[in-house]
Amino acid sequence: MNGPVACGNCHTLAGPDGPDYSRELAGGLVFDAEPFKAYAANITPDNETGIGAWSDAELGKAIREGLRPDGTLIGPPMPVPFYRALSDEDLAAIVAYIRSVKPVTNEIPVSTYNIPLPPAYGPPIDSLSAPSPSDQLAYGEYLVTISHCMECHTPLKEDGHPDFDRLGAGGNEFPGPWGVSVSRNITPDTETGLGEWSDEEIKTAIAKGISRDGSHLLPPMGFGYYANITEPDLDAMVAYLRSIPAQKSEH
């Protein structure tokens, strides 16, 4: 929960010293990205302003399918298209964790989307299991998917949707209190990607936020959360990243 899926990267406000855990998951991050203005919701178990009144099944459906109990769609940038891959087991663990955080009363404004949102992100999901860790590539792909790395690291097409033909090529801009950070190329390209990096260097960037040249990475790269990913899981993620097609980029 505080590892790969990094809900708190959006749902917990962070100050200069990192996430404010006294108000963990109480919402508040604002995404003012034309054409929409989205507010990350309060997902603490508060009955009035959070998700306290939702059943486990309703909460699970919200996370994996992006549908609230009243049937409305949870809009971007909530990474539902990636969370659709979550196994039943991992989804249940996330739901249990959310139930365990302190309820915080915090009314969050309603998001406005000046674009038509689809009625759903896809067909309903009954049940899903994760690939076995013994199949390192498939398991690594699963982990990279639920960590929604590619949401930030895949360039957007003109219509605002990710260009999956350029998976991992980077180049998206993220303005914030830190200035503007630009997601980097995480494909195996030897000049503009991670092709020449050692496994250790890639793992240090993901989990510690330190790039190969020793520089510190800026938000919203989620290294603070990825620090909790286990070594074998990081190894599987690196193996998968090395298997995707290399892309040239300017970064």
CB of 53 to ligand HEC, least distance (A): 10
Residue 15 vs 174, nearer CB to ligand HEC: 174
Q: Does 181 bind ligand HEC (CB under 6 A)?
A: yes
Choose the binding region for ligand HEC from 118-126, 134-142, 155-163, 220-228 (rule: CB under 6 A).
Answer: 220-228
Tell me whether the omega of the peptide bond preceding residue 77 falls within 30 degrees of 0, making it cis. yes
Which residue of 145, 221, 236, 249 would you call a contact of ligand HEC, by CB under 6 A? 221
CA distance 204 to 229: 12
Write out the two tokens for 122: 């896809």
One of 13, 14, 186, 236 touching ligand HEC (CB under 6 A): 186
CA distance 187 to 120: 30
Q: Is 68 exposed, middle or buried (0-12, 13-18, 19+ CB in 10 A)?
A: middle
Q: Applying CB under 6 A, which of residues 10, 67, 85, 169 lies at the interface with ligand HEC?
A: 10
What's the min distance (Å) between Cβ of 133 and ligand HEC? 16
Judged by CB under 6 A, the residue of 93, 128, 138, 217 near ligand HEC is 217
- b or e along 236-249 (b: 16 or more beta carbons within 10 Å of the residue's beta carbon)? bbbebbbebebbeb
Told to check if 11 binds ligand HEC by CB under 6 A, we report yes
Closest by Cα among 43, 57, 49 to 10: 43
Do residues 50 and 58 make contact, with C-beta atoms less than 8 angstroms apart?
no
**In this chain, which of 14, 104, 152, 169 binds ligand HEC, going by CB under 6 A?**
152
DSSP 59: H
Name the residues that contact ligand HEC, by CB under 6 A.
5-7, 9-11, 31, 38, 40-41, 43, 51, 62-63, 68, 74-75, 77-79, 83, 94, 98, 111, 144, 147-149, 151-153, 174, 181-184, 186, 202, 205-206, 211, 217-218, 220-222, 226, 237
